[in-house]
Amino acid sequence: MVIQVPKRSRPGVVPEAGAHSNQRNGACHARKLGRAGGQGRIIPASSRLDGRGIPELSWAGRKSLPHAASRRLFCQDKQQGLGEAKVESVNTKDTVLVTGGAGYIGSHVVLALLDAGRRPVVLDDLSTGRRSMVPAGVPFVEGSVGDAGLVADTLGCHGIGTVMHFAGSIVVPESVERPLDYYRNNTVNSHALIVACLKAGVERFIFSSTAAVYGMPDRLPIDEETATAPINPYGASKLMTEWMLRDAAAAHGLRYVALRYFNVAGADPQGRSGQISKVATHLIKIAAQTVTGQRSEIAVFGDNYPTADGTCVRDYIHVSDLATAHVAALAHLETGGANQILNCGYGKGCSVREVLAMVEAVTGKPLPMRIAARRPGDPPALVAGVERIRATLDWTPRFDDLETIVSTALAWERRLAGQ
């Protein structure tokens, strides 16, 4: 199936709500429009939830749907001979747009939304994600959150009431080497997304932030009142987005929750998703790659820190628990809860040696490792203060156990390696 879309005559112009008499039906009507503009794809019927042709749009450059409220699409299925089709949109404003939903954390959140009976739509440019990580039947739009026209069309066509924003760059050393890339992808693109949300009347925004906004804190555990002083462009770029959300909420009434992640690890216990980074930077992922023979050894960066065993201590949270925290944050906003910034962790730390010892215990084999020099900027310990998230959200972690985190990560890595 092919969607042929005419070019917009006035790029970036979003009509006011109710500006078109046919807007009230909330539907995206299909009509043959000839060979103008960009192209998209329709998910095959075999992969649809309802077999009716859920649109999967793939865009290059500034090719987008027209801003007519009817959002006319041409959908032609040569195999099924459908000719003109009608693609219904949802106008109840309870659909959730998940940016970066083909990546590690985003894909787990999509699963959590589905498990909770929610309707997600994924927007991802596939720069680091994979299309295969999006469950069959979930509408998928390929493109950047910085493409204002594409985002506006997606928000309008699918009746989006909430945006969960995961799309961004996350590698700290890379952010130091390429700071302007991080400010563009994490801050400038987030600005464009927030503006599009305000124009479209999106009510709720849940943001994937990071404990890197705290920099080198001088106390443990780290609660949300700890001063923010990021020491790298990654943390700074995320903090700027938090500021934008705070100010947009004050000026325009946008309601939001920003979740500051500590160390996310593990994989879906049902094997539906996991970490797919081409270049692993997280300890448990690297350890799993060592177990599966993709690496010859694992480096421990420093063993002379002021911790119990001399290695760095971090607060590891299972990715599936993090995913359900986002669903709980959505429920919090839907029931009138206040805007929040919340730490996401378990409130307890594990050292590098403890993590690697658990990997050895799970596999029953010694792990080849070597002691390397400290990495600049690594704090000795980072542990989340979790009182606020426990008191604010209806959220109870289910996988608060290092063995479960390691076991699910290893199972996923073995699957990727074909073992």
Which residues are 265's β-sheet partners? 318
Q: Which residue has the tokens 């804190």?
A: 217
On the question of a cis peptide bond just before residue 221, with omega within 30 degrees of 0, the verdict is yes
Q: Which residue has 């009347």 as its token pair?
A: 201
Q: Which two tokens stand for residue 245?
A: 């959300």
d(CA 237, CA 240): 5
Residue 120's identity, in one-letter code, is P
Alpha helices in 19-177 (DSSP H): 104-115, 148-158, 172-177
Helix (H) or strand (E) run with residue 50 in it: none
Q: What share of the chain is helix, strand, coil (3-state, %, to 5)?
A: 35, 20, 45
- Please provide residue 235's backbone torsions phi and psi, each rounded to the nearest 5 degrees: -60, -40
Number of CB atoms found within 10 A of residue 149's CB: 22
In terms of Cα–Cα distance, which of 316, 330, 230 is closest to 275?
A: 316
What letter would DSSP give residue 203?
-
First vs last Cα of the chain: how many Å apart?
A: 36
**Closest CA relative to residue 333, chosen from 187, 177, 203:** 203
Q: Amino acid identity of 173?
A: P
Structure tokens at 204: 């709720």
Chain centroid to Cα 276, Å, comes to 13
Active centre residues (catalytic): 234
